[in-house]
């Protein structure tokens, strides 16, 4: 929740059960399962910690808006994709789209035009090009 604008508050599991037996079993089970990372889902403060802060990270929000706009324009129900992994980079190709997820600076090859990126990706790929860590979507 709030990922699309960089929400910093966690979304914790919280409850408002009224049956004492259910509450007892819930607390005991979660203590057993989570040990030292336990928090009480019935405690009102758990709910309060999960509320969205709405401190919007405009860059992340604009990135998500751009992704949604691309998805609306490029309706393609084809399930034919080509996936290539190289070092710390994943390339996913589908017809005229290339998605790059790069966990380190890396090199990719091809001829593509940038649609959107999470970091400073080159506007065009021609031949072998270095790309930074991040994600980018290209089209032919």
Is residue 12 classed as helix, strand or coil in its secondary structure? coil
Cα–Cα–Cα angle for 77, 75, 59, nearest 5°? 125
Look-up of token digits 């599991």: 13
Alpha-carbon span 102 to 57, nearest angstrom:
22
Query: What's this model's pTM, rounded to 2 decimal places?
Result: 0.64
83-123 tens-digit pLDDT? 999 889 999 998 888 999 999 998 888 899 999 998 888 99
Q: Which CATH number fits domain 76-139: 1.10.150.120, 2.60.40.1180, 3.60.15.10, 3.40.190.10?
A: 2.60.40.1180
Indicate the domain borders of the chain. 3-56, 76-139
16-56 tens-digit pLDDT? 999 999 999 999 999 999 998 999 999 999 999 999 888 88
Alpha-carbon span 17 to 15, nearest angstrom:
6
């Amino acid at each position: 929740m709030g990922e699309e604008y960089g929400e910093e508050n966690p979304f914790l599991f919280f409850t408002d059960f009224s049956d004492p037996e259910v509450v007892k079993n819930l607390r005991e089970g979660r203590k057993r399962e989570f040990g030292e990372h336990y928090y009480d889902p019935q405690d009102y403060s758990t709910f309060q910690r999960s509320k969205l802060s709405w401190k919007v990270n405009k860059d992340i929000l604009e990135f998500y808006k751009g992704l949604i706009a691309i998805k609306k324009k490029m309706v393609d129900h084809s399930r034919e994709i080509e996936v290539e992994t190289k070092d710390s980079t994943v390339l996913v190709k589908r017809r005229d789209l290339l998605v790059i997820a790069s966990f380190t600076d890396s090199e990719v090859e091809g001829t593509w035009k940038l649609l959107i990126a999470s970091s400073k990706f080159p506007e065009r790929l021609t031949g072998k090009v270095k790309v930074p860590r991040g994600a980018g979507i290209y089209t032919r």
